[in-house]
Amino acid sequence: MNLSCPTRLSCPGLPGVAQAFPPVRAARGMTLIEVMIATGILVFGMVAILAIILTAQRSHQRAVNETNAVLVANSVLSELRAAMDKGGLPETYSPDKPFEQLPQHRDYPDYRYAVSFKKLEAQRRNPKAPLLGEEYYVEVRVFWSQRGEAQSATFQTVMFLRGSVTPAPGSGFTVPR
């Protein structure tokens, strides 16, 4: 055996070495099929990511619109509550009117609203107790347009209209002043 040989592959006279380690061929490029498959996978992934982004954008816009509708309804209900605390019943706006004829909110001009009242019958535990006012079922519908489609949200509450308090005669109730 020749011990001066630096590597076994380059040393002549060593039997079986060439068969165990065949010569390495130079790397060829990718085939056309491999490139097409890789491109297809990349395009499929990009389309999926784009669809996710568009869905997220629509969901965000819907959330913004619904949040603004809540703010509009809260503002309208606050104004109604203030008017009812003074003893007056504010004007109603029918939701059956065309969008352009509904009142526009001052802070959110793209939003319009309708208000309706329904007097609730008092269910009194003690018929001799004085009535302090009347209860009303109040409904506020907020309208807006999203991508050309009319959208709306409905908010309901019960409000109290203060009235003149007159205790029933002989009831023993007094009205605090």
Query: What token pair was written down for 119?
Result: 């007097």
pLDDT band at 176 (very low <50, low <70, confident <90, very high): very low
8 A C-beta contact, residue 113 and residue 103: yes
Q: Residues 2-25: pLDDT tens digits? A: 555 555 555 555 555 555 555 666
Instruction: Kindly report, residue by residue over 70-129, the tens digit of the pLDDT.
Output: 999 999 999 888 888 877 777 778 888 888 888 889 999 999 999 998 888 766 677 666
Structural tokens at position 83: 């008017």
C-beta atoms surrounding 69 within 10 Å: 24
Q: What are phi and psi of 140, to 5 degrees?
A: -120, 125
- Using pLDDT thresholds of 50, 70 and 90, give the confidence band for residue 131: low
Query: Which uninterrupted H or E stretch holds 43?
Result: helix 32-85
- Residue 152: exposure state from Cβ atoms within 10 A (0-12, 13-18, ≥19): middle
Neighbours of 133 (CB within 10 A): 16
3-state secondary structure of 82: helix
Computed over every residue of the chain, the mean pLDDT equals 80
Distance CA 108, CA 153 (A): 15
- Residue 130 near residue 175, CB atoms below 8 Å: yes
